[in-house]
A and B are shown apart, each in its own frame.
Chain A
Amino acid sequence: MNKKISNKKILNGNKFSRKAFSIRFRIILGLLIIIYIAGFCNADNCYALTAYSSYTYDLYENPAKAPQAYLPKEVFFGNDLKVGRLNNPGDLFVGPDNNIYLLDSGNNRLIIFDENWNLLKILDTLNNAGKADSFKNPQGIYVSNDKVIYVADTENYRILILDENGNILKEIKEPKSDVISENFIFKPIRLVMDKGKRLYAVSQGAYEGLMEFDVDGNFTGFVGANRVTPNLIDYFWKRISTKEQRAGLMAFLPTEFNSVDVDSDGFIFATTGSIDYTNLAFYEDQNNVQPIRKLNPAGQDILRRTSVLKPIGDLGTEINISGTIRGPSVFIDVCVEDSGIYNCLDGKRGRIFTYNSDGDLLYVFGGLGYQKGTFRAPVAIDSLNDYIIVLDKTGNRITIFEPTNYGKLIKDAVRKHYTGKYDEATQRWQEILKLNANYDLAYVGVGKALLRQDKYKEALEMFRLGNHREYYSKAFKLYRKQVVGENFGLIVFSVIAVIFILRYIRKLLRHGRKSQSYLSDVYYKAR
């Protein structure tokens, strides 16, 4: 009661000084607000990438610059290879004996080189059981281990099976089946064979999946079709719209494949270009975007995607836009190397993205342009030993990329890790870190080794630098256990001490408050 009265008294008594203070207070507040607003006026930094830069992505989806992993070694035009001018070449394949098969689609011929790019053979007229035959704009080629050549003879609507001398062993024409709709056009563009001698072909515009043929060339069905997942909102709109409106809406079509490759275990890698990227900005949704798939014989996608950022190429989020090309990558071809390493060719920006078996981005190289190492319209990619060969359709040229020391180290580390030689892999990772301090994968690699050696504190630092929360948590749990175990006595003692000190302080405070209120009572009474 007393207190309130006294408050009022002070309010009335010091009216003038309070007001003055209030004006000063207001001025200061005003100035602070002005400074605060002014702080927003400086422009944000811009992060741009040149066409040729090498990078990986950090956890926050920002590109982190990296040394070049691959450099262009040679560029071949048709004349350099003594085969005349190439005309819109469609595909390139490195065969089992390291012979290179080049499909010169515009000239309707197949050119075979040995691994040193010496011309071995040109197949343009084919022997079809005695009669002359030829290709018509063929787009895909595959050569099996017994040197049988499979060609997707696109505009003749057939798949050709040839021997090395251009004799047609078999023709696969448009198959008849219940699962094929009537207006389906058989236009094979890419093909591949698995270990069971089943042939898988990509047909242009076929959204049912890959076409599977058995050993005898009989059509057995579609595999690997993309799942269609209409969302609730679309469903709602479909329900309330009229028939005409519904016809106007885009149909829920699964996406179509555009290229295939096979790994050494016989699994099919397939890329697809048409993907719904609407929600890509949130990286939780990257799991639903699968431009690259690894299909088992049942047609299920079994690609490992345990990395933080999924194997989808450029993310296309606002900050990563380079130049005038926007949006995420569109994969148009894939090439599988050993140890689970695979290269994806992005047709949009002409970049090659290389991933390990977990889906971690290893390095990026290539780009669109006219200079050495860039392409005008890349169409196919394959690997020969550690070299990467890229076919440029519009540029009518072949570019051969050679790994740098940095690239070799990464590949080596991934291979050693893949085969379980962790100690050797760790050595490589450490060397990589000397070359590129932004390489998250290397930090995690070193961290795992340190964790195995029970060096928890050092491992923690590595996992933090490598932005790997799961392993950080594991290491931290062990580290905490270690620290608590070592200092158990001290911790118990300090806890008890703190409790006693707190009690003492509380007692003091309570005592102090009592006496204070008593004093103030006396004081107010006296007034």
Chain B
Amino acid sequence: MELLESLRYSLHVIFHPFDGFWDLKYEKRGNLKSAIIILLLLILTVIFSRQNTGFLFNYNDVSRLNVLNESMRVVLPFFLWCVSSWCLTSLMEGEGTFRDIVIATSYSLVPLILINFPLSIISNYITLEEGPLLYTFQAIAILWTAFLLYVGTMVTHQYEPGKTFGTMVLSVIGIMIIIFIGMLFINLILEISGFVDTIYKEIIYRI
């Protein structure tokens, strides 16, 4: 019941972001469980829209849809954003903990679910000429989410508007750095494993 209540609260957050994010953190209206449920719902929405968007607007090869790969499109950016944002804000006197950031971020993703899910159903009943309608709503969902992310960051860390914007830009750069280091790391591991593998083979062949 508590869970449902905090999920229902997300509807309040997206329409009253300043008030909503404040209560989310300081009145403990949000929790990690509902944040994860929202994330799961978003994954489901993404998969659903990949699968069930009308033929006219669905440019994916549905026969090769991989649920895991699709879910990665949500999970990876989400955690990269949270980690990057947490790294930066803890350096820049932000008041939010990692938990706060995860909750605020996932609550700001609610418009994506609310708009994209019905859109993919509606897309089955419209023609190509009516397509711009669809794209407009998709754009609204993204702008709305971006705005919520902005307000969420601002309220959670008690920043001024300008500083919030700067932090968000830096977070994006941080994401790129994380990806770069991650790739570097994977590459190195591969090199090392390849090296060990060659030595092993070399020894096996000699014996």
User: A residues within 8 Å of B by Cβ?
Assistant: 4, 7, 25, 29, 36, 39-40, 59-60, 62, 464, 469-470, 472-474, 476-477, 480
8 contacts between A and B (CB under 8 A): A25-B33, A36-B68, A469-B55, A469-B128, A472-B56, A473-B129, A477-B127, A480-B125
Closest Cβ of chain B to A500, distance in Å, is 21
Let me know if B202 is at the binding interface, CB within 8 A. Answer: no
User: B residues within 8 Å of A by Cβ?
Assistant: 27-28, 33, 36, 55-56, 61, 64, 68, 71-72, 125, 127-129
A39 touches B127 (CB 8 A): no
Closest Cβ of chain A to B73, distance in Å, is 13
Select A473's contact among B27, B68, B127, beta carbons within 8 Å: B127
Closest Cβ of chain B to A370, distance in Å, is 35
Closest Cβ of chain B to A448, distance in Å, is 17
Closest Cβ of chain A to B50, distance in Å, is 14
Taken together as a complex, chains A and B put the C-alpha atoms of A196 and B98 apart, in Å, by 78
Select B56's contact among A4, A40, A60, A469, beta carbons within 8 Å: A469
B125 touches A473 (CB 8 A): no
In the complex, what residues of A have CB within 8 A of residue B27's CB? 4
A470 touches B128 (CB 8 A): yes
Taken together as a complex, chains A and B put the C-alpha atoms of A476 and B61 apart, in Å, by 21
A60 touches B128 (CB 8 A): no
Closest Cβ of chain A to B39, distance in Å, is 12
In the complex, what residues of B have CB within 8 A of residue A29's CB? 36
In the complex, what residues of B have CB within 8 A of residue A470's CB? 128
In the complex, what residues of B have CB within 8 A of residue A473's CB? 56, 127-129
Q: How would you classify the secondary structure of chain A's contact residues: helix, strand, loop or mixed?
A: helix
In the complex, what residues of A have CB within 8 A of residue B61's CB? 59-60, 62
In the complex, what residues of A have CB within 8 A of residue B33's CB? 25
Identify 6 new A-B residue pairs, CB closer than 8 A, beyond the known A60-B61, A470-B128, A476-B56: A40-B72, A469-B55, A469-B56, A473-B127, A473-B129, A480-B125
B55 touches A472 (CB 8 A): yes
B68 touches A40 (CB 8 A): yes
Closest Cβ of chain A to B126, distance in Å, is 8
Taken together as a complex, chains A and B put the C-alpha atoms of A473 and B130 apart, in Å, by 10
In the complex, what residues of A have CB within 8 A of residue B36's CB? 29
Chain A residue with Cβ nearest B36: A29
In the complex, what residues of B have CB within 8 A of residue A469's CB? 55-56, 128
Closest Cβ of chain B to A39, distance in Å, is 5
In the complex, what residues of A have CB within 8 A of residue B64's CB? 60
- Interface core residue of B72, B125, B128 (most chain A CB under 10 Å): B128
Chain A residue with Cβ nearest B27: A4
In the complex, what residues of B have CB within 8 A of residue A39's CB? 68
Chain A residue with Cβ nearest B57: A469
B68 touches A476 (CB 8 A): no
Chain B residue with Cβ nearest A38: B68
Taken together as a complex, chains A and B put the C-alpha atoms of A474 and B55 apart, in Å, by 13
A464 touches B125 (CB 8 A): no
Taken together as a complex, chains A and B put the C-alpha atoms of A93 and B36 apart, in Å, by 70
Taken together as a complex, chains A and B put the C-alpha atoms of A470 and B129 apart, in Å, by 10
In the complex, what residues of A have CB within 8 A of residue B72's CB? 40
Closest Cβ of chain B to A521, distance in Å, is 17
In the complex, what residues of B have CB within 8 A of residue A464's CB? 55
In the complex, what residues of B have CB within 8 A of residue A40's CB? 68, 72
Chain B residue with Cβ nearest A8: B28
5 smallest CB-CB distances across A and B, nearest first, come from A473-B128, A60-B61, A39-B68, A473-B127, A477-B127
Closest Cβ of chain A to B47, distance in Å, is 13
Closest Cβ of chain A to B159, distance in Å, is 26
Taken together as a complex, chains A and B put the C-alpha atoms of A477 and B36 apart, in Å, by 41
Closest Cβ of chain A to B59, distance in Å, is 8
In the complex, what residues of A have CB within 8 A of residue B128's CB? 469-470, 473
Taken together as a complex, chains A and B put the C-alpha atoms of A60 and B60 apart, in Å, by 8
Taken together as a complex, chains A and B put the C-alpha atoms of A291 and B33 apart, in Å, by 57
- Interface core residue of A29, A469, A473 (most chain B CB under 10 Å): A473
Chain B residue with Cβ nearest A4: B27
Chain A residue with Cβ nearest B67: A39
Closest Cβ of chain A to B35, distance in Å, is 12
In the complex, what residues of A have CB within 8 A of residue B56's CB? 469, 472-473, 476
Closest Cβ of chain B to A24, distance in Å, is 12
Taken together as a complex, chains A and B put the C-alpha atoms of A73 and B116 apart, in Å, by 57
Closest Cβ of chain A to B128, distance in Å, is 4
Chain A residue with Cβ nearest B72: A40
Taken together as a complex, chains A and B put the C-alpha atoms of A480 and B130 apart, in Å, by 13
In the complex, what residues of A have CB within 8 A of residue B68's CB? 36, 39-40
Chain B residue with Cβ nearest A467: B55
In the complex, what residues of A have CB within 8 A of residue B71's CB? 36
Taken together as a complex, chains A and B put the C-alpha atoms of A36 and B64 apart, in Å, by 18
In the complex, what residues of B have CB within 8 A of residue A60's CB? 61, 64
Taken together as a complex, chains A and B put the C-alpha atoms of A474 and B127 apart, in Å, by 8
Taken together as a complex, chains A and B put the C-alpha atoms of A29 and B32 apart, in Å, by 12
Closest Cβ of chain B to A391, distance in Å, is 39
Taken together as a complex, chains A and B put the C-alpha atoms of A62 and B56 apart, in Å, by 19
In the complex, what residues of B have CB within 8 A of residue A477's CB? 127, 129
In the complex, what residues of B have CB within 8 A of residue A480's CB? 125, 127
Taken together as a complex, chains A and B put the C-alpha atoms of A477 and B54 apart, in Å, by 14
Closest Cβ of chain A to B54, distance in Å, is 9
Taken together as a complex, chains A and B put the C-alpha atoms of A39 and B66 apart, in Å, by 10
Taken together as a complex, chains A and B put the C-alpha atoms of A470 and B127 apart, in Å, by 9
Chain A residue with Cβ nearest B33: A25
In the complex, what residues of A have CB within 8 A of residue B55's CB? 464, 469, 472
Closest Cβ of chain A to B51, distance in Å, is 15
Closest Cβ of chain B to A33, distance in Å, is 10
In the complex, what residues of A have CB within 8 A of residue B125's CB? 480
Taken together as a complex, chains A and B put the C-alpha atoms of A312 and B65 apart, in Å, by 27
Taken together as a complex, chains A and B put the C-alpha atoms of A470 and B128 apart, in Å, by 7
Taken together as a complex, chains A and B put the C-alpha atoms of A314 and B125 apart, in Å, by 36
Taken together as a complex, chains A and B put the C-alpha atoms of A59 and B28 apart, in Å, by 50
Closest Cβ of chain A to B63, distance in Å, is 9
Taken together as a complex, chains A and B put the C-alpha atoms of A221 and B33 apart, in Å, by 76
Taken together as a complex, chains A and B put the C-alpha atoms of A4 and B23 apart, in Å, by 12
Taken together as a complex, chains A and B put the C-alpha atoms of A36 and B67 apart, in Å, by 10
In the complex, what residues of B have CB within 8 A of residue A7's CB? 28
